[in-house]
Structures are given as C-alpha cells and as structure tokens.
Amino acid sequence: MPTLTRFSVRPLAQMTRQLAAVASGRAEPDGVITGARVLSTYSDRILPERELWLSGGRIAAVQPAGRYRGAAPRYDARGGIIAPGLVDPHIHIESSMVTACAYAEGALLDGVTTIFCDSHEIGNVMDVAGIEAMIEDARAAPLSIFLTVPSTVPATSAALETAGGDLTADKIAALFDRWPEAVALGEKMDFVPVTMGDERAHAILAASLSRGRPVSGHIYGREFVAAYAASGITDTHEAIDRDIADDLLEAGLWLFLRGGPPTTPWHSLPDAIRTITELGASPKRIAVCTDDRDADDLLHFGLDWVVREAVRAGMTPAQAWSMGSLHGATRFGMEGEIGGLGGGRRADLVLLDDDLRPRCTWYGGELVVEERRITPVLDAALSARYRYPDAAYHTVRLPTSLQLTPDLPGTAVTAHTIRTELPGIMLGHVTLRLEPAPDWRTHFDTHDLCFVTVIERHGKSAGNVAHGLLNGFGLRDGAVASSVGHDSHNIIVAGTDEADMQIALAAIEKAQGGVCVVRGGQVTAMVDLPIAGLLSDRRVGEVAEATRALKAEWTRAGCTIPYMGFNLIPLSVIPEIRITDRGLVLVPQMRLQPLFEPV
C-alpha cells in the first residue's frame, strides 16, 4: 500500500528517463486517465478530448484522446474536466483545530493537494519545539505541506503581551537551515515596527532574504505600503479592498485574494478582485487563498469554493483555477513541480464537473477521493496520524485563584471599551462615562456591555489577568471562552458574571485547551483542543461536528461576532484597541491604556 506522503513520489531528477520513455511510447504508463477535457493553467483554456499518461506518480504526457492503445489501467473521466490540484499559498493549519494529518482529509476532498502553512500559532505556544512538531506532523500527512516560517512571535513586545514562544532571528535562521520544507518567511504582521525600522523586525527579514527565501506580509493601511515593500515583503493576503490591492500590486507584491465564509471578515476577495475587473490589472501575480478555516468551514468553504467565488466575480473558469493552482506554485518557485499538467509534474490531479466542483482527487498518481468519498488507501493513511510530544498536551498552566471581573467603580469614570462590529476584524475604541451604579448589570443594560478578560496561560508570569469591557458583543448572560486568543494564545473569556466566567475557565483548564459556551451555570458546547491548546487529536469530521454545535450555541448566546473573530480580540497589531494579558493596547500607538480613568 502506498505511503501517501509528499516524499512517496520520486524526485524528477530520478524519473526523467522513465518519463521520456513513456511519453514517447517506448514504455508502458502505470495508468491512463481517458475521456477528459483538460484545464490548462498555462494557456487558461479548457482543451477537449485529451488523456493523461501517468508514471511513477508523475505526468508523462497529455495526449489526444484515444492515442494510448496498450493494456495499462484506465480511468474514464466521462467528459469531466481534469485540472491540476489546487495550491493554497497561505493557510494556518491550527485555525482548523485539527492536526496536519487530519487537515489533509478536508483538503483533498476540496481538490487541494499542496498548502503553504504559517504555524505561528503553535510557535507562540511552544516556540521552536512546536513548529518542529508540526513539521513532523506535516511530513506524515497525505498532503504536500510546506512551511512559511513564523516571523512575528510574539506579535508585539513582552511589555504588551506574554507569549509562550520567542522566535528570534537566530532561531528562524536555524529553522531555514535545518528543514528543507521551510521555504519562505511567514506573514510579517508587525507592519508598524517594520515600516518604522525596528531592529528586531529587520533582523528577522534579513535571516530570510539573505537565504534567498521570499517574505510574506500582513498589512493594513495604504500609508504603510511603500515602506513595507521596500523592506523586502513580496506577498500579502490582507488586501481588503480594491484600492489597497492596486497599491500593493504596483509596489511589487503578489496578492493572495482571500475568500472566506461570506458572513466573516475573511471574505475580502469580492472587493479586492476589483483591481482586475475594474482597474484592468493582470491576474498574473494574483492567487487565491483561504487563510483561516475551522474544521466545519474547511469542509464547506475550501479553496475550490474560493475559486468559484473568483468566477462569480468575473474571472473565467480557467483563469480562476489558474489563480488557485499555478499562480501560488509560481509565487514559491515550484511551477515545475505543481500547479499545471505539463510533462514531469506531480500527478496531483482533480476531476471537476462543469461548475468546478471536485469529484475525484489523485495525489501523486493515487486515487484518494472518488466521487466525493475518500478511498481505502486514504482512509488508511488518515488513520495513522502523527502523535505530538507529551509536552504539547500540557500547555495550559494557571494559578489556583484568579479574579476574572474588574471591581465596580465607586465614582464616575471614563471607561475605555472595545467595540466589536462586523464585517471587519478591526475593533473600535469607544470611551463611555460610567456614573456610580449599584451593580454591573446597570452598566451592561445601559451601554450594551459585558466583561472581557485575558489570562496568561503559559506559566511565564505570576498569573497576569487583564480586565476589559466589550461594547456591542451581544452577550446577555453566561460566558464564552477560548484558549486560541491570537496571537500569544492566552485564554480569553467574555461574560456577564464572575461565576459563569470561572466555569468556562475551569473547563478549558481541564481539557488543556478549547473553545466553550457556558449558560445557566453549565457548559453547553465545547470543542476540546488538548494539543497546545490549539488542536484536537480527532479526525476532521468529528471536529467539524463539534464545531457546528459550538457555533449554534454561540449564536444562541447572542454573540454578534463569530468565535473566530472573538479569538482575534487580543491580536494587538490590528487597530484600534485590543486586550492582552498585560491590559488594553492602543494600536498603532502600541501603548497600554488603563480601563478606567477619573472623570
């Protein structure tokens, strides 16, 4: 039975004589896919009546239909469209809440055969050890997984938040030098320090650039584009609208247009793609990506869905599929291996219907998905998942006694509150005058408030706890909590009373990570995440089912932003105000702000 890893297909340098013999008819192929139309990402056309000759997990030739006359096994595509497997140039495996091995199932069902992942979440928790564990996980997965080395761990200085990891320039350089799948520097999120010439930020950039590795970006604000590009960043997935997309493209950056579930801030493709459809830009340096997906969304809004969104936005089907395959491969210099159906390329293939919906997927020439169902060979590979080190299962370390709510002010104060509002992921800074009141409920009802608290969970402080107030979050009773508080991944809890918030915190500590909802003094929904407080050790379908239940209960609790948006409330590099374990952080000033000030 095939091992079904990226390494199970022999390097092209070892295959050239065999592939040439098959392509010229001097040797038999291992198999032939017949009766197909071929989607050419090289010419953005769909070519009729073709067949593919496969050998050694690679494509030997694409020939006119009926040319092969031998006895090799045949697969009849019955007029379907054969396309190269999709290449996702920017994702975070941890956002799916499953391991890399489990992620492969959802990806292959979506026709995705290669991903480039930034593992900064587990890096923030476990430093280099976490990243290397994820690489080992990725090596065991039936999927081609490359690493964009985390660049911004922690996202800000230790004075503003406490992280479990600290990836210096030297540590990043060592990751590049040790692991061949470390092919680029991951999204450089601290765009303000980069543009202001911060020494640490530029030392990290130098570690990548001096090794010839490209640098991925993450930027908000057109005023930062010129200095950001001048600092060596050459791609970004954060083009949120047409105008900044156009600025970034002309500054020399590749654009990864991000498509996400339409009700979330991750669906920026419809606005950003207008640099092509309205301003006439060429799509040659534009790809599509998914970025963050939970396990449920992975099965419903994969990269194939994003490609179809590009078609709906005005691209032809062939152009859109090229943006989902060849363009991402080209950005990372791998177009000779993946992203197209040329001779010698990996036989990572997808059979599509006329609506570009994947029916079958071949990975390294092995049929792993047939008519939207995983095959036995893939099921066997998915059942033998990588086991993370024991230390990864013990990353939530809390003091025995914590106060999760601020004291009620006895005099009039100005409160600095965090306004949550869709569709964006930026948070508003709203100041409110709070007059003396008999209880917190009076303030909550008057100003649409609830508590929000961030608790340091890495055991690196004496138990940092920061109190804040959410404005417009919609929670009227109970509590919600998560150990996935980006980017340092401390625990974030929101609620209306101390007791329910303590129940939520205790549930997360017991499971060593997770996301939960508490109502009526009971945990009503929870996704356990025992690996680094980020990942489940279950199959993607099981985690997706638990996530659907969580999202339903989250909505019933009245929360106005999805739980993944809630996880971003501590992300202290996005304006205007955030909360970390150190307190409220004003962005881009990057300074701490007291919750209350005297009137």
The confidence score (pLDDT) of residue 463 equals: 84
Going from the C-alpha of 136 to that of each of 100, 151, 198, the distances in angstroms are 9, 20, 33
- DSSP tag of 458: B
Domain 85-155+163-339 fold is: TIM Barrel (3.20.20)
Nearest-angstrom CA–CA distance, 422 and 302: 22
- DSSP tag of 397: B
527, 550 Cβ separation under 8 angstroms: yes
571, 131 Cβ separation under 8 angstroms: no
Output the six-digit token pair for 525.
């929904």
**Count of beta carbons in the 10 Å neighbourhood of residue 31:** 19
pTM for the model stands at 0.94
Closest by CA position to 148, among listed 86, 225, 219, 235: 235
The confidence score (pLDDT) of residue 95 equals: 94
Over its length of 599 residues, how does the chain's per-residue pLDDT go in tens digits? 457 888 889 999 999 999 999 999 999 999 999 999 999 999 999 999 999 999 999 999 999 999 999 999 999 999 999 999 999 999 999 999 999 999 999 999 999 999 999 999 999 999 999 999 999 999 999 999 999 999 999 988 888 999 999 999 999 999 999 999 999 999 999 998 999 999 999 999 999 999 999 999 998 889 999 999 999 999 999 898 999 999 999 999 999 999 988 877 778 999 999 999 999 999 999 999 999 999 999 999 999 999 999 999 999 999 999 999 999 999 999 999 999 999 999 999 999 999 999 999 999 999 999 999 999 999 999 998 899 999 999 999 999 899 999 999 999 999 999 999 766 678 999 999 999 999 999 999 999 999 999 999 999 887 899 999 999 999 999 999 999 999 899 999 999 999 999 999 999 999 999 999 999 999 999 999 999 999 999 999 999 999 999 999 999 999 999 999 999 999 988 889 999 999 999 998 889 999 999 98
The confidence score (pLDDT) of residue 1 equals: 42
Q: What angle do CA 16, 55, 76 make, to 5 degrees?
A: 145
Phi, psi of 231 (to 5 degrees): -85, 0
The confidence score (pLDDT) of residue 133 equals: 98
Residues 6+ apart with CB under 8 A from 87: 112, 113, 114, 115, 116, 287, 324, 325, 326, 328, 329, 334, 338, 339
Output the six-digit token pair for 413.
């104060």
Identify any residues that bridge with 45 across adjacent strands, giving them in sequence order: 40
85, 283 Cβ separation under 8 angstroms: no
Nearest-angstrom CA–CA distance, 183 and 211: 10
Nearest-angstrom CA–CA distance, 512 and 491: 11
Nearest-angstrom CA–CA distance, 153 and 186: 11
The confidence score (pLDDT) of residue 262 equals: 82
In this structure, the dihedral spanned by the alpha carbons of residues 159, 237, 207 and 334, taken in order and rounded to 10 degrees, is: 160
Nearest-angstrom CA–CA distance, 518 and 262: 27
Residues 6+ apart with CB under 8 A from 539: 98, 102, 105, 382
Going from the C-alpha of 413 to that of each of 271, 403, 405, 432, 597, the distances in angstroms are 41, 21, 17, 8, 6
Going from the C-alpha of 115 to that of each of 3, 87, 302, the distances in angstroms are 19, 6, 12
Closest by CA position to 443, among listed 467, 413, 478: 413
The confidence score (pLDDT) of residue 192 equals: 87
Going from the C-alpha of 513 to that of each of 458, 483, 496, 526, 527, the distances in angstroms are 12, 5, 22, 10, 9
The confidence score (pLDDT) of residue 8 equals: 86
- DSSP tag of 229: H
The confidence score (pLDDT) of residue 2 equals: 53
DSSP 122-182: HHHHHHHHHHHHHHHHHHHSSSEEEEEE---SSSS-TTT---S----HHHHHHHHHH-TTE
Report the run of H or E that residue 39 belongs to, with start and end.
Answer: strand 31-40
Report the run of H or E that residue 580 belongs to, with start and end.
Answer: strand 576-580
Identify any residues that bridge with 349 across adjacent strands, giving them in sequence order: 84, 362
Nearest-angstrom CA–CA distance, 444 and 412: 15
Domain positions in the chain are 85-155+163-339, 393-598
Phi, psi of 7 (to 5 degrees): -85, -5
- Hunting for tokens 């549930």 — which residue is that? 507
